[in-house]
Structure 1
Amino acid sequence: MNNQPNLTVERSSVELTKEDFVSDQMVKWCPGCGAHAILSSVANVFPKIGYRKENFMFVSGIGCSSRFPYYVNTYGIHGIHGRAAAIASGVKISNPHLSVWVATGDGDSMAIGGNHFIHIIRRNIDVNIMLFNNQIYGLTKGQYSPTTPMGSITKTSPQGTIEHPFNPGELVLGAQGTFFARVIDAVPRLMTEVMFEAAKHDGTSVVEILQNCIIFADKTHDSVTNKEHRDDRTIVLRNGEPMIFGKNKDKGIRLNGTRLEVVNLGENGVTEEDLLVHDAYQQDPGIHLMLAKMSYPHFPVALGVIRSAMYPTYDDMVEEQIAYAKANQKIKTVDDLLNSGETWEIK
Structure 2
Amino acid sequence: MQNPLVSILIPFKDTEAYLSECMESILRQAYQNWELLIVDDASVDDSYPIVHAFALKDPRIKLFKNQGSGIIPALRTAFNHCQGDLITRMDSDDIMTPDKIGTMANLLVEHGPGHLAVGQVKYFSHRGISNGYERYETWLNELTEKGNNFNGLYKECAIPSPCWMVYKTDLERCGAFEPDRYPEDYDLTFRFYENGLQGIPCDKVLHHWRDYDTRTSRTSEHYAANYFLDIKLHYFLKLEHDPQKQLVVWGAGNKGKTIAKSLLERKIDFRWVCDNPKKIDKDIYGKRMEHFHILNQIDDFQGIITVANENEQETIKLFLMGLDKKPMMDYFFFC
Flag whether TM exceeds 0.5 (same fold). no
- TM-score normalised by L of structure 2: 0.29
- TM-score normalised by L of structure 1: 0.29
Larger-Rg structure:
1
Which has the larger helix fraction? 2
